[in-house]
């Protein structure tokens, strides 16, 4: 399996003009106190989670360093809960779709 750090990460640069494809793959990040909650999909859209097409993992990175990675199979809902790290590094959440690659969102 590809690691979180060795393939190109797709970010939405312009949310107003984002495609349905981008919106379905991009992590939705919500911070509540010391907790980061992540699901996949923005603006009411969600990614499929089937045997043929699913989110393989959701990862939290600080700078370029992996903090935590949670893996899923197609029968598991791709949601993740992380502890908010105490760091000055830029936090990024990445999600890997088995067909479409790696998608990111800044925390």
By CB under 5 A, name the binding residues for Fe ion: 97, 99-100
Distance, CA of 67 to CA of 102 (rounded, Å): 17
Residue 104 CA, distance from chain mean position? 5
Query: Shortest approach of Fe ion to residue 57 CB, angstroms?
Result: 13
Query: Shortest approach of Fe ion to residue 26 CB, angstroms?
Result: 11
Distance, CA of 21 to CA of 81 (rounded, Å): 24
Query: Shortest approach of Fe ion to residue 67 CB, angstroms?
Result: 24
Phi/psi for 105 (5° steps) reads -145, 140
Q: Which is nearer to Fe ion, 29 or 47 (CB)?
A: 47
Q: Which is nearer to Fe ion, 21 or 106 (CB)?
A: 21
Q: Which is nearer to Fe ion, 92 or 97 (CB)?
A: 97
Cβ atoms of residues 31 and 106 within 8 Å: no
């Amino acid at each position: 399996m590809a690691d979180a750090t060795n393939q190109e990460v797709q970010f939405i640069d312009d949310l107003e003009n984002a495609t349905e494809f981008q919106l379905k793959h991009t992590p939705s990040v919500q911070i509540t106190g010391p907790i980061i909650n992540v699901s996949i999909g923005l603006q009411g859209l969600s990614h499929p989670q089937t045997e043929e097409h699913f989110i393989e993992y959701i990862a939290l990175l600080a700078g370029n360093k992996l903090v935590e990675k949670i893996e899923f199979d197609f029968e598991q809902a791709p949601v993740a809960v992380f502890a908010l790290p105490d760091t000055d590094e830029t936090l990024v959440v990445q999600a890997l779709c088995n067909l479409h690659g790696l998608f990111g969102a800044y925390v």
